[in-house]
Amino acid sequence: MIDPSVSGPRPNRARWIAFGVAILVVALVLVLGSRPAAKSTGVATPLGGKEAPTFMGTTLDGGAFDLATLRGRYVVVNFFATWCTPCREEHPELRKFAERHGRADGPRIVAVAYDENDIGATRAFFAREGGGWPVVISNGDRIAVDYGVRGLPETFMVNPNGKVVAHTRGQVTADQLDKFMSTAS
């Protein structure tokens, strides 16, 4: 025979445990669900809002480049390699952006060749596809680590104060770059 005084409280306790577990699950879903989802473009970077790492290097035409000399205007820092197909596909968009902003005080593009062993290929690519912006061919690997680059192509927009205001992973378009500038200013 079952003694009700012994079996009585058990379902009650089980109910409380189930209730507690349910609250925990709901809390976990809320915490995880409220985290911002990763976007395909305009990805947040830990460098966002911070000073852009300054860099110097030798350009494709043998000249010297120093990012600090471009302070006072928007700068698009584009990491690329000629062996990277999305980088090659992105190139016309960068050219379009450069053509749109040809004025003297307009934004500038600087390309950083990353993991590029064949400088001849880079030179041939720019001669064929156009693009009159400086292409840094030395220290590319170090500059990439300094910017927290994870893959190619990757683009950072630096504002006139030298701060990183936008970042994209993957191909960027001229319209996106314009949008970044208008949002940042």
Partner 1 sequence: MKRRAMKSLVWVFMTTVLVGALLIGSWPERSRPSTAAERIERISTQLRCPTCQGLSVADSDSPLSRSSREEIARQVSEGRSDVEIRSFFVERYGPDALSTPSGNGFRALAYGLPLAGALVLLLVLALATRRRRYSRAAAAPTAADRTLVLRALTNRANGP
Question: Least distance (Å) from partner 1 to the CB of residue 37?
Answer: 16
Residues near partner 1 (CB under 8 A) are 31, 46-47, 50, 114-115, 141-142, 144-151
Question: Least distance (Å) from partner 1 to the CB of residue 4?
Answer: 19
Question: Least distance (Å) from partner 1 to the CB of residue 54?
Answer: 14
64-66 vs 56-58, strand pairing mode: antiparallel
Question: Least distance (Å) from partner 1 to the CB of residue 106?
Answer: 28
Q: Which is nearer to partner 1, 39 or 150 (CB)?
A: 150
Question: Least distance (Å) from partner 1 to the CB of residue 78?
Answer: 17
Q: Which is nearer to partner 1, 12 or 182 (CB)?
A: 12
- Of the candidates 140, 74, 85, which has an alpha carbon nearest to the alpha carbon of residue 111? 140
Q: Which is nearer to partner 1, 51 or 99 (CB)?
A: 51
Q: Which is nearer to partner 1, 83 or 93 (CB)?
A: 83
Q: Which is nearer to partner 1, 84 or 174 (CB)?
A: 84
